[in-house]
Chain A
Amino acid sequence: MKNTQNSLGAYLKKHWKTVVFLVLVLIGIGIADQFVNSFMRRLLNLSAIYTIVALSMNLVNGFTGQFSLGQAGFMAIGAYTVAIFTVPVGLRSTIFYLAPMAPLLANIQLPFVVALILGGFLSAGVAFLIGSPCLRLRGDYLAIATLGFSEIIRIIFTNTQTITNGALGIKSIPTISSLWWTFGIALIVIIACFLLINSSYGRAFKSVREDEIAAEAMGVSLFKTKMTSFLISAFFTGIGGGLYAALLGTVDPKQFYFTLTYNFLLIIVLGGMGSISGTIIASFVVTLGQEALRFLDEPMAFGLDLPIFRPGLRMVVFSFLLMVVVLFYRKGLMGTNELTWNFIANKYRSIKSRFTKKAASAQGGDSK
């Protein structure tokens, strides 16, 4: 007992900055939860959900070096699970007015958390089915199969009228408004990812990313490693999707068009493929940035009736941004680095030394 206390004390002593930072973040969320208006609350919730999904995408694409584009599909599974199982039984007949809900499901109502976790497991189950054939192969088959899967899942959800209400979607999902759900789960996912990446599993992921042949020669099972990463990613994405459904209150197949995946791709590319902190920063920047750039879609952006400002410009700017990042800043914000205290200290030192050098050279110039 004493021993554990000691090691806990040592741990706190070593990582006190991180602990203080985490406590500050929690206090910040608490304060924000009390005071922000509903618009900002929604944005912050969305940012946290994007963090969850982008982080799980980065686990496969950034850390394991596989290219999966199925985020929208896995989100759809999580979102629909939450929608189907949490809508109050009494409201179901009004929602499913074209065709009644399948009798097997019609009377099952689960608590939110249970539905959320179920959504995660269902989406991991589907990931297993897709991964089994695709992850055995080298190359880009996973990209096309996962992209195809997210299209198929949308087609299936549009056609299964008695389960998902088809193209009409499901309304009246009990919503979450507190920031704690999304930020709490985001924190859990972030910590889980940090622990995972620094474990032997994480090292296996990275070895597969760096060189498959070398990794295999060192005894890393390629298929098992890729599958583990893919399943964990799908699980978290499913949970992110469930939160998304509970945030919006409605789901319909159009929300999960595969272009949704491109948002997360932009986030992980911008943040750095293979950086957890980069992903977190980029999730907030992109989500808030998308709102901030909304003026681009308004015809009267600067009080002038400029014809270039009309709906669609915002997305053009966004896709252009993605191209610029890919072509000119391939490493993104963080590359594969993490925003640790050492990283900040080093950055600070290098900036400082650059300034002192400049000042010194300026002085040298003067004295001459």
Chain B
Amino acid sequence: MVVGMTLSTFLQQLINGLSLGSLYALIAIGYTMVYGILKLINFAHGDIFMMAAYFAYFGISVFFLPWYVTFIITILLTMLLGAGIERMAYRPLREAPKTSLLISAIGVSFLLENLATYLFSGKPQAFPEFPVMTTPIFVGGLSIQPVSIVIPIVAFFLMTVLLFIINKTKVGMAMRAVSVDYDTAKLMGIKIDNVISSTFAIGSGLAAVGALLWCMKYPSVLPLMGVVPGLKCFIAAVIGGIGNVKGAVLGGLILGFSEVLMVAFFPSLTGYRDAVAFIILIIILLFLPNGILGKKQVEKV
């Protein structure tokens, strides 16, 4: 066996893993932020991601808008969608039992999927190609799609911005306060509803960026495209420690790397690719129930 050959393949797979992991991280942040504040698994997050892909598809392929206009509109529309879902489906249930909230989230997810199937048909649509992004370039014997490099750069830039927002701005401080103690934050005069809306908007915006990058890499748009990435990214958030933004990034990267490397080293297991995440989830829940960076939660009476 030629060592150099395997090394370059390995590097290639590492880059693939990095870009897939960064995509997962972008979506996982939305889950972890919402969970941190509302203690809710936002089942609709994967479908918000799907809707963003459709917005972009319609912008470019149907309305022939320039790509940068489309991207801005897509991100804004998706943020609006996320905040709107919170307003319509979650806010009326603020005082209701948590199960109702969870069912409402599943209901929204189901509604978005069915609505997309009904409006856009169940057939996959081809996302417009970006040759600049997908034509492989050769660097030292590696053939790399530029998009695989762009994804991690964009993702890490956005995460830095997000960490800045959370740690240095007033909204971020309010978010942290609400996630530590909902009721006390309310008593301190924090406008909870505004904080929650902005959390949903930010999470959805990141999912929209994730969807745009995702579609450049895998150019096909269909109504159920958000389901499996959605589940995996929630798992990524759990692995890293739910409620923790850095944890979501770490979890996303772990998931991306393990998925790509498993397929690279055990090609016969390719069919089981989507199962990796769930196996990791079970292992993590057994040994580190609070995730890698999560804090131990004590339930009080």
Interface residues in chain A, defined as those with a beta carbon under 8 Å from any beta carbon in chain B: 61, 65, 67, 69, 130, 133-134, 136-141, 143-145, 147-149, 151-152, 155-156, 158-159, 213, 258-259, 262, 265, 269, 273, 310-313, 315-316, 318-320, 322-323, 326-327, 330
**Whole-angstrom CA separation of A2 from B227 in the bound complex:** 62
- The residue among B103, B234, B282 with the most chain A CB atoms within 10 A of its own CB is B103
**Whole-angstrom CA separation of A259 from B278 in the bound complex:** 18
A19 → chain B, closest Cβ, in Å?
A: 35
| B104–A326 touching, CB < 8 Å | yes
Residue contacts A-B, CB under 8 angstroms, 23 given: A67-B102, A136-B289, A137-B285, A138-B297, A138-B299, A140-B102, A141-B289, A144-B41, A144-B231, A148-B235, A148-B277, A151-B228, A155-B275, A213-B299, A269-B103, A315-B114, A316-B114, A323-B111, A326-B100, A326-B104, A327-B104, A330-B96, A330-B100
| Interface residue? B107 (CB, 8 A) | yes
**Whole-angstrom CA separation of A134 from B286 in the bound complex:** 8
| B281–A145 touching, CB < 8 Å | yes
| Interface residue? B6 (CB, 8 A) | no
Given A137-B285, A147-B231, A151-B274, verify A322-B118 contact (CB < 8 Å).
no
B106 → chain A, closest Cβ, in Å?
A: 6
| Interface residue? B115 (CB, 8 A) | yes
Interface residue from A141, A158, A312, A320 paired with B117 (Cβ < 8 Å): A312
A333 → chain B, closest Cβ, in Å?
A: 15
Interface residue from B41, B117, B234, B289 paired with A315 (Cβ < 8 Å): B117
| Interface residue? B272 (CB, 8 A) | yes
Interface residues in chain B, defined as those with a beta carbon under 8 Å from any beta carbon in chain A: 39, 41, 89, 92-93, 96, 98-100, 102-104, 106-108, 110-111, 113-115, 117-118, 121-122, 227-228, 231, 234-235, 238, 271-272, 274-275, 277-278, 281-282, 285-286, 289, 297, 299, 301
When C-beta atoms are compared, the residue in chain A nearest to B115 turns out to be A316
Given A61-B99, A141-B238, A326-B100, verify A155-B274 contact (CB < 8 Å).
yes
- The residue among A136, A140, A145 with the most chain B CB atoms within 10 A of its own CB is A140
When C-beta atoms are compared, the residue in chain B nearest to A258 turns out to be B227
| A143–B107 touching, CB < 8 Å | no
Q: Which residues of A contact B278 (CB under 8 A)?
A: 145, 148-149, 151-152
Interface residue from A65, A141, A313, A326 paired with B103 (Cβ < 8 Å): A326
Q: Which 6 residue pairs across A and B have the least CB separation, nearest first?
A: A312-B118, A148-B278, A319-B111, A159-B271, A315-B114, A319-B110
Q: Which residues of B contact A310 (CB under 8 A)?
A: 118
| B89–A145 touching, CB < 8 Å | no
Q: Which residues of B contact A138 (CB under 8 A)?
A: 297, 299
Given A148-B277, A310-B118, A319-B107, verify A155-B271 contact (CB < 8 Å).
yes
When C-beta atoms are compared, the residue in chain B nearest to A159 turns out to be B271
| A213–B103 touching, CB < 8 Å | no
| B122–A151 touching, CB < 8 Å | no
| B111–A143 touching, CB < 8 Å | no
Q: Which residues of B contact A320 (CB under 8 A)?
A: 111
Q: Which residues of B contact A136 (CB under 8 A)?
A: 289
| B122–A326 touching, CB < 8 Å | no
When C-beta atoms are compared, the residue in chain A nearest to B278 turns out to be A148
A126 → chain B, closest Cβ, in Å?
A: 12
Q: Which residues of B contact A67 (CB under 8 A)?
A: 99, 102
| A262–B99 touching, CB < 8 Å | no
**Whole-angstrom CA separation of A234 from B238 in the bound complex:** 25
| A158–B271 touching, CB < 8 Å | yes
